[in-house]
Amino acid sequence: MPSSLPHRFISWPCALYSALLACALLGAAPAQAYAVRDTQGRTVEFAQVPRRIVSLLPSTTEWLCALGACDRLVGVDASSNYPPQVARLPRLGKIHAPQIEAIVRLRPDVVLMAYAPPLMAQLAQFGIPVLVIDAQDTAGMQAQLRTLDSLLQQQRAPALLAQMQADVQRVARSVQASAGRSVYFEVDATPYAAGPHSFIGELLSQLGARNIVAASLGPFPRLAPEYIVRQNPQLIIHTPETKAADFARRPGWNAIAAVRSGSICTLSTAEVDLVSRPGPRQGEAAAVLARCLGRP
């Protein structure tokens, strides 16, 4: 047997060994491309885990930080205000009217946003990948988390979901006495309501409440005022956009049981943030709704 092999046969293995040894010494593995499927069913390819992320949804901002990736955020929408450390980040406009030029200047590896084809097309012109992270119900909220977990190439979603569900169940056990109470949750004075298949409605259901809105009307339907009067809710939960005293001034609403008894629960701005975001603070949101359900 020859004492040595020709150089062309040994140079490649030696080079490969040297590269692998260098990676091992540095504690890193070679980057590997992967794909992420967003909540719209779109598949987006990534050469490596994004280091510069723009979030244009408050709930997504909160999820990222809950997953330990706050330090990857380089910009957020105007409504993202939790956790406190995101306050130092550049504000990039409203959720449905972001500042495209400001986003481009930040050179993000990915933008996380609601489904908005025209805005997505603008970002695509600059070669910026977009992941749609929309959620209207609990299943969508869980899909949000799994998508972000996949983007970050982590396995933290199952534990985070389990903790969140345990927090909600603990609150639910504290309000069993109010089970079956009929509730109207007014999102705004249009009036838009939270239906039973919205994430708000599903949280109310877990707390034992009965939503007056028919499931067939969708997650967040716009209702005729007369419909609400006919459904005669025992409790009204609403945002500070409307004053509690204003409900009695609406035509026919003084006949509603909740208005007659004063069972009207006004959420603060901070409480609205908690309840209206399909994010990781569902246990705290449940506690806010439980307080309302505990009203006489």
CA distance 249 to 144: 40
Question: Which pTM was predicted?
Answer: 0.85
pLDDT of 187 = 96
Tokens representing 243?
A: 């004053």
Rounded distance between C-alpha atoms, residue 235 and residue 248, angstroms: 13
Beta-strand pair 97-98/93-94: antiparallel
Residue extent(s) of CATH 3.40.50.1980 domains in the chain: 34-155, 167-293
Architecture of domain 167-293: 3-Layer(aba) Sandwich (3.40)
pLDDT of residue 159: 95
Nearest-angstrom CA–CA distance, 124 and 132: 13
pLDDT of residue 178: 67
Residue 204 CA to residue 282 CA, distance in Å, equals 11
CB neighbours of 176 closer than 8 A, spacing ≥ 6? Answer: 208
User: At the topology level of CATH, where does 34-155 sit?
Assistant: Rossmann fold (3.40.50)
What was the pLDDT predicted at 18? 43
d(CA 157, CA 150): 9
CA within 13 Å, CB half, 24: 6
Output the CA angle 74-79-82, nearest 5 degrees. 70
Q: For the chain, give the secondary structure using H, E and C.
A: CCCCCCHHHHHHHHHHHHHHHHHHHHCCCCCCCEEEECCCCCEEEECCCCCCEEECCHHHHHHHHHCCCHHHEEEECCCCCCCHHHHHCCECEECCEECHHHHHHCCCCEEEECCCHHHHHHHHHCCCCEEECCCCCHHHHHHHHHHHHHHCCCCCHHHHHHHHHHHHHHHHHCCHHHCCCEEEEEEECCCEECCCCCHHHHHHHHCCCEECCCHHHCCCCECCHHHHHHHCCCEEEECCCCCHHHHHHCCCHHHCHHHHHCCEEECCHHHHHHHHCCCCCHHHHHHHHHHHHCCC
In sequence order, the β-bridge partners of residue 222 are: 192
Regions of the chain where pLDDT drops below 70: 1-31, 177-178, 295-296
Judge contact between 56 and 141, C-beta under 8 A.
no
